[in-house]
Structures are given as structure tokens and as C-alpha cells.
């Protein structure tokens, strides 16, 4: 007897019935870039349709996000240049840009799930993700104390979840201990467990004004050639108490997403990063690809094993999902 898989592709209803992978609006996290100043809503040149917002311009943005059904956001703060110093002190200032943004967003809509990026690169005068030694090497263990302070300050401001992205060894354990000590037992940690030293971060570094002033981040972010190492990093974060694991970038690392998902029984996030977004957005805007390529690319991340997807396409996807229902 001839097997006929095409029977289950005969029409839309049948295809939908047997569809293995679906993107839900609830799966998506939308990044927001918050800047100092007033009356600012400026499009980021390298990230079309993504904006810098000052605090006073967040009301309309949060309302739009909520109306689209997006429930989760992740915040990135950009302080004034003159506020940056060697230890990124504005990152853990209780009146810093992110801390004020958390409080403002919770005032606008307390139901929005606010996740915060815990790192130092946007706040240090040198643009690296930690405390430097005299030789310019990022001192892993000294940096941990500062990361813990940042996470606690975010929790105090009302963050629902913290997401350390620095790639220092041992930071999940130190952050968990600090949060628990301050009574924030219920604040989860979504760890950037597997973060590669990728060239796909370029547009983000412009958006966050966070490019290193010298050298690169290859001594703490992972070598793109390595896959087995991803399992080591994920395992350590599991043992240290991470609640959610993450792979970053996403599209160029679908194999890594699959390996991490197959090996660890924790929710898995993937970050569809700025370079991936910018390339595809440009192709769609220039008529090289149809808008359906956006959905297909994010579907591939979900199919690879990601439960949660951080993406600048969240608004576009939310509209597509609503239109198809």
C-alpha cells in the first residue's frame, strides 16, 4: 500500500489540526530600550521599528504592547555617558534608569511581566561586562558582587524576573544567594546560560551604547565553534539554581538550542538577536522576502526546542497571530 502523507496537507483545517509546532503570543518577550531624558521616542537606525524611549514616553508603548497581547518585556537601560564609571555604579543605583523604568511600567500596568537584563556593559566607562584588572582582563570573582547588587536593586524596584547576561562563572549562585538574603525568594533567574561571542550583536551595541572601548568579549563569551561547551555552561547554571536557561543567539545556533533542550528539563529561552532581526527586517522591507519569512524564522527557533523567545519581532508576530485567528 502506498503511504500518502499528503492526505494531511489537503487543506488549511487539516494542516492546522496536525501542526506540530505553534507560536503563541505568550511565548514572546519584547525588548525595550530605556534612555535618560524627556520626550524621547527615537528610532534606532540599525534596528528599524525599534525605539529608544524616555520614561515619560512609556505610557503609549506599554498600552500598545498590552493591546497586542504581549505580556512579557525585557528592559535595557542606557544612562548618560557622564554617569558611566569603571564599576558601572549606575547599574545598581536605586534611582538608576532601569530602576525608575521598572517602577514607571508597574505604575502604568502592574500586570506586565518585567524582566531585567543584569549586566554592566551599558554602565561601565570601558564597555566591558565586569570589573577590569590593571591588564584589562575582566576579573570574574570581583564582578560577581556587583552583579548581585544589580539584581537585588532590580528586585527592590519591582522586577518580576532577572536575567544575568554577563557570562561570569558562578554568577547564578551568587545572585540567587543575594536575592534570597534580601527576601526575594520568588524572583526567578533567567540565565543567559549559553551566550556566544557573536558578530550578530552589532545593532544591539549601537542601541545600548555598549560596545567595548578596547578588545572584545571572547574571554568570557563562548566560542561560536563550540557545542559541547554549551552543555557544560547549562549544567553549571542548573546546579547553581537557574530557573530558566537561555541560548543566545538563536537562528545561527538552532543545533545548540536542541541539544540544551534535550539534556535539561528546565524552560528554555532563546534570544533572536539584533543582527538576526536587522537582516530579516531589511530583506522584508526591500521586497527580497515576504513577511512570512519572519514567522517562519521564529517558528524554526520554537521547533528547535525553545519554549520562550526574546525577539524584536514580538509586535509583528503578535499581529500575525491575531490576524490568523
- Give catalytic residue positions: 195, 248
Q: Cis bond leading into 249, ω under 30°? A: yes
Residue linked to cell 546546579: 239
Rama region for 254: left / alpha / beta (φ>0; ψ in -120 to 50; rest): alpha
Residue 43 host element (H or E): strand 41-44
DSSP character string of 195-251: EB--GGGHHHHHHHT---SSS-STTTSBPTT-SHHHHHHHHHHHHHT-SEEEEES-G
The torsion of the CA quartet 105, 106, 107, 112, rounded to 10 degrees, works out to: 80
**Residue 161, all three cell numbers:** 524576573
Q: For residues 316 and 53, what is the distance between their CA atoms, to the nearest angstrom?
A: 19
Amino acid at each position: 500500500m502506498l503511504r500518502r502523507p499528503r492526505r494531511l496537507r489537503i487543506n488549511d483545517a487539516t494542516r492546522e489540526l496536525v501542526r506540530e509546532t505553534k507560536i503563541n503570543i505568550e511565548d514572546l518577550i519584547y525588548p525595550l530600550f530605556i534612555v535618560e531624558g524627556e520626550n524621547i521616542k527615537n528610532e534606532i537606525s540599525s534596528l528599524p521599528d525599534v525605539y529608544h524611549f524616555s520614561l515619560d514616553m512609556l505610557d503609549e508603548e506599554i498600552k500598545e504592547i498590552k493591546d497586542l497581547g504581549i505580556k512579557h518585556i525585557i528592559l535595557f537601560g542606557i544612562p548618560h555617558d557622564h554617569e558611566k564609571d569603571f564599576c558601572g555604579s549606575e547599574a545598581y543605583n536605586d534611582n538608576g534608569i532601569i530602576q525608575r523604568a521598572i517602577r514607571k511600567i508597574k505604575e502604568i500596568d502592574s500586570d506586565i511581566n518585567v524582566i531585567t537584563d543584569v549586566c554592566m556593559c551599558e554602565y561601565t566607562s570601558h564597555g566591558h561586562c565586569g570589573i577590569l584588572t590593571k591588564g584589562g582582563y575582566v576579573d570574574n570573582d570581583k564582578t560577581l558582587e556587583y552583579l548581585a547588587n544589580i539584581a537585588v536593586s532590580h528586585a527592590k524596584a519591582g522586577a518580576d524576573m532577572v536575567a544575568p547576561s554577563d557570562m561570569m562563572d558562578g554568577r547564578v549562585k551568587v545572585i540567587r544567594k543575594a536575592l534570597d538574603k534580601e527576601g526575594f525568594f520568588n524572583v526567578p533567574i533567567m540565565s543567559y546560560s549559553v551566550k556566544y561571542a557573536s558578530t550578530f550583536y552589532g545593532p544591539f551595541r549601537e542601541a545600548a551604547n555598549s560596545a567595548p572601548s578596547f578588545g572584545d568579549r571572547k574571554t568570557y563569551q563562548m566560542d561560536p565553534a563550540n557545542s559541547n561547551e554549551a552543555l557544560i555552561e547549562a549544567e553549571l547554571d542548573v546546579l547553581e539554581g537557574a530557573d530558566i536557561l537561555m541560548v543566545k543567539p538563536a537562528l545561527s545556533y538552532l543545533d545548540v538550542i536542541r541539544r540544551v533542550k534535550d539534556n535539561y528539563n528546565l524552560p528554555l529561552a532563546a534570544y533572536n538577536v539584533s543582527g538576526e532581526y536587522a537582516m530579516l527586517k531589511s530583506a522584508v522591507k526591500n521586497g527580497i522576502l515576504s513577511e512570512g519569512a519572519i514567522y517562519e524564522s521564529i517558528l524554526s527557533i520554537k521547533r528547535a526546542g525553545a519554549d520562550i523567545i526574546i525577539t524584536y519581532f514580538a509586535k509583528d508576530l503578535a499581529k500575525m497571530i491575531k490576524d490568523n485567528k
